[in-house]
Amino acid sequence: MCALPDSTLSADITEWQMISATLVGLQSVPGVVILYGSIVKKKWAVNSAFMALYAFVVVVICWVGWGYKMSFGHRLLPFWGKAGAALGQDFLIR
């Protein structure tokens, strides 16, 4: 176990965590596509693979357009944010 410096939220550590989380997320896409493609009959494998891929695309679009501001925007409750579009001019200027 390595000892962390006094400032545990340094830029290097945060950057590495974000890169690692992105790589893990990118690994899950082909894994789920292969899993769902192998469960069904051979003639439906491509359709199942694309449905899993479309589901990931929809989640990313929802996260960018709405979920990011809900997570990191203004607080509504201690654990919940105010939902709203994250791609508006007001949000981008701040």
**Domain residue spans in the chain?**
11-93
Reported as a single tens digit per residue, the pLDDT across 33-73 is 888 888 889 889 889 888 888 988 898 888 777 776 666 66
Look up the pTM and report it: 0.58
Question: CA 57, CA 55: separation in Å to the nearest integer?
Answer: 5
3-state DSSP helix/strand/coil percent for the chain, to nearest 5? 70, 5, 25
Share of the chain above pLDDT 70, in %: 65
Lowest mean pLDDT among 13-27, 42-56, 63-77, 80-94: 80-94
